[in-house]
A and B are shown apart, each in its own frame.
Chain A
Amino acid sequence: MDGVHDMGGKARYFGPLPTIDPDEPAFHAEWEGKAFALALLANRVSGANLHAFRHAIERVPEPEYLSGYYERWLASAEILLLDSGILAPGAVAARAENLRGGRVEEPAVPEPHKPTMPSGGGGNLRAVEEAPAFAVGDAVTARTSVPSTHDRLPSYARGRTGTVTAVQPAQVLPDTAAHFVGENPQHVYAVEFAAQELWGEDAEAFTLTLDLYESYLEKA
């Protein structure tokens, strides 16, 4: 899907790179560590999964998404908790107000409605009985259609043709798992694209590899 998260090649994000601090700590402030832990726990408490979590991050409004990594993690934790009816809309804002000395009424605890999607086990690697549709060396083209739901095909690769360089382990399909409609595991392929195919004749000389789910691809 289109959105702020799909940053690859987007001119509006081009700008100077930040300085690298080789000793940068995991968290820069106490709240960042807390946001990290709360997001992982919110995912668990709300009955979500990794893909639903990523999709929640993609749904964070753009200014907030761009305000920082743990800011968007915190927002996505709230989105998952609202989605699943663990928290009522406005509950966090009201509590925040009361924590800083306000006296506002907090909304009642809602009736939870957690998603129920059968899982084929822990993690995201799965066995798929059908043989892979593509083999190493095959030329494949990425789909051009743009779903309005979660997917993992960056916009810069839509409609581009590359070569399969490896068949990766089959995995849960993020497109359906993110929306709790099923794991639908698929074969995944490392697909190598020439820079010129992606960016035109004047591109720098390099290759780019994406790991793409079978349904994103067709034989070129």
Chain B
Amino acid sequence: MTEVEDTVDPTIPPALRAEALESLLLERGLIDTKTIETFIRTYETAVGPMNGAKVVAKAWTDPEYKQQLLADGTAAIATLGFKGPQGEHMVVLENTADVHHVVVCTLCSCYPWPVLGLPPSWYKDPAYRARVVKEPRAVLAEWGTELGPDVEVRVLDSSSEVRYLVLPERPAGTESMSEEELAALVTRDAMVGVTKVQAP
């Protein structure tokens, strides 16, 4: 195996380092520019939290779909066309007035890509990864999510290939809103369980 001293000088700025690596692989025909662009564009535009928001809004407005989603997350999510890497086996957790789930990956930054896209900075931050498994109530409160002592808190640490999506509680006062309007309210952070969805 490669000794760490063999790896490249970390004083090289990452942009230059990426460019160097890219040019070495391109000139040997091991990779191609089109594939690189496709990967980047896919996660910039097509795969992101707007997918998960559609799943949540549908579950809020279609009781049968919600039941299916909680029973077999992978299949129910796939009916909306969302599947792929880091979404092989999806489990959906329902947050209610009594139970609050929050998801982390303490060993790396495992995250359900097909429904939420690539993880945001806070999810990858050492403080979040270290603290949420030890003091989840303090973490949530720091981000403005105050939970009463009667609310059961459940933390999920993604240590296998199971990926979790939180189904947030539908906010009061949204009864007349359409599925599309509801989807626009759903945030990435609520689908990881660190915040709640707010009514407009």
Contact B21 A206 (CB under 8 A): no
Contacts of B135 in A (CB 8 A): 204
Given contact pairs A17-B143, A95-B23, A41 touches B120 in the complex (Cβ within 8 A): no
How near does chain A come to B85, taking the closest CB pair, in angstroms? 8
A interface SS class: mixed
Contact of A96 among B12, B109, B188 (CB under 8 A): B12
How near does chain A come to B148, taking the closest CB pair, in angstroms? 11
Contact of B126 among A7, A60, A203 (CB under 8 A): A7
User: How does the 8 Å CB contact mask read for A23-57 relative to B, with 1 for contact and 0 for none?
Assistant: 01111011101111110111001000000001001
- B153 on the interface (CB 8 Å rule)? yes
Complexed CA–CA distance, A203 and B8 (Å): 42
User: How does the 8 Å CB contact mask read for B86-123 relative to A, with 1 for contact and 0 for none?
Assistant: 00110000000000000010111100000001111110
Interfacial residues of chain A within 60-109, with CB under 8 A of chain B in the complex? 60-61, 63-64, 66-71, 74-75, 77-79, 81-83, 86-87, 89-93, 95-96, 99-100, 109
The interface size of chain B toward A, counting residues with CB under 8 Å, comes to 79
- A5 on the interface (CB 8 Å rule)? yes
Contact B14 A70 (CB under 8 A): yes
Q: Using CB atoms and an 8 Å cutoff, list the residues of chain B in contact with chain A.
A: 1-2, 4, 6-10, 12, 14-25, 28, 30-31, 35-37, 39-40, 43-44, 48, 88-89, 104, 106-109, 117-122, 124-131, 133-139, 142-143, 149, 152-162, 187-189, 194-195
The contact sample of 23 A-B pairs, CB cut-off 8 A, is A13-B129, A21-B121, A25-B44, A26-B48, A36-B40, A37-B37, A41-B36, A60-B4, A60-B7, A64-B7, A68-B14, A79-B2, A90-B6, A90-B8, A92-B12, A93-B9, A95-B23, A95-B24, A156-B106, A204-B153, A205-B137, A206-B152, A208-B156
